[in-house]
Structure 1
Amino acid sequence: MNQLTQFGLLADYNQWMNKKVFQAAARLSEAALTQDQGAFFGSVLGTLNHLVVADTIWLKRFASNAACARALQPILEQPDPTSLDQCLFNDLTRLTTHRQWLDKHILCFISELQESDLNAILTYRNTKGIVFSKPLNSVLMHFFNHQTHHRGQVSTLFSQLGEDIGDTDLLLLIGNVDIQI
């Protein structure tokens, strides 16, 4: 499987898992959704907002790369988040709609990449203004890993609240092809 196929799989997984997470969140009461459970971003809603904030920051960075700019133009038109713990949406309905919008742009962005784009160097500033230059493929891996990391935290928060989000394994999206080694 080449890198583009792998990133396509990760983008599909991201969308699939976000749908499951937001469906589970919709089954929670407002009190449970906003209850500070001691997670890094406090509550389920806080953590889901963080994912939108971080994805927005990264997608804006990716948009600075010529290969990514066209697919991510709508992201550039969004306001810049002011902090990693910013609550962009206080209500789940608006957060869900925005999450779905972001996921569609992530899928489009990944689908428009060429294999040669993945070795491009992405130069960006972190939230403290420090400049970094890293290969796009490595930063994309971080982007998807970050999402999985925080969705894992949300999964734990759901468990503590008695809510089951169901199966979450990436393996479920991998085709039924047996490879002999």
Structure 2
Amino acid sequence: MKVFFNQLFDYNFYCNKKLIEECIKLDKVPEKSIMLFSHILNAHNIWNARILGKPADYKVWQIHPIKNWGDIHYENQRSSFEITTNATDFEIRIDFDNEEGRLFTSTLQDILFHIINHSTHHRSQIAMNFRDNELEPLSLDYIFYKR
């Protein structure tokens, strides 16, 4: 399970890094893409914090300047690798409060998979937003990454 999640987080890191590099090169990044990518970073931080039982550093829809994305992304990745490296039971249940204060419980493996899936979902929305703004989206499919 550790190897599987490390591979998924490697893929996630690669995709987000490519997107950050692309946005840094652009003269103007669409506002919706900035909002969505900031949300990807925030959600990853929030889920890592929930797993570790500590307060999150960011709010769900907090906007970050593009110049800060790389540092936030790196810290999220480092924290996720620390979690997977130290995990002894991926079926362990994690209790957490959502934004409205409701209590939920999920397994560690479900939360880790959610982080990856959530990022992929919003990167797809960013790709569509790029097209809507006449920008060419990146090819970030997992199979391309594995080649």
- 1:98 equivalent to 2:36? Answer no
Which of 13, 16, 31 in structure 2 is aligned with 1:15? 13
Alpha-carbon distance, 1:161 to partner: 2.8
Alpha-carbon distance, 1:78 to partner: 6.0
Alpha-carbon distance, 1:6 to partner: 1.9
Which of 62, 66, 69 in structure 2 is aligned with 1:86? 62
Alpha-carbon distance, 1:156 to partner: 1.4
TM-score normalised by the chain length of structure 2 = 0.86
Q: Is the 8 A contact 1:121 1:135 kept in 2?
A: yes
Secondary structure at 1:85 match in 2: coil
Inter-partner Cα distance in structure 1 for 2:56 and 2:107 = 25
Inter-partner Cα distance in structure 1 for 2:72 and 2:105 = 29
Between structure 1 and structure 2, the one with the greater Rg is 1
Distance 1:166 1:34, change over 3 A: closer
1:154 — aligned with what?
126
Distance 1:23 1:161, change over 3 A: farther
- 1:128 equivalent to 2:128? Answer no
Secondary structure at 1:122 match in 2: strand
Inter-partner Cα distance in structure 1 for 2:117 and 2:68 = 25
Q: How many residues align?
A: 147
TM-score normalised by the chain length of structure 1 = 0.71
Inter-partner Cα distance in structure 2 for 1:162 and 1:15 = 25
Q: Is the 8 A contact 1:123 1:133 kept in 2?
A: yes
2:36 — aligned with what?
47
Q: Is the 8 A contact 2:11 2:142 kept in 1?
A: yes
Gaps of 5+ in 1: 36-42, 65-75, 176-181
Gaps of 5+ in 2: none
Q: Is the 8 A contact 2:40 2:119 kept in 1?
A: yes
Report the identity percentage: 21
Q: Is the 8 A contact 1:11 1:110 kept in 2?
A: no
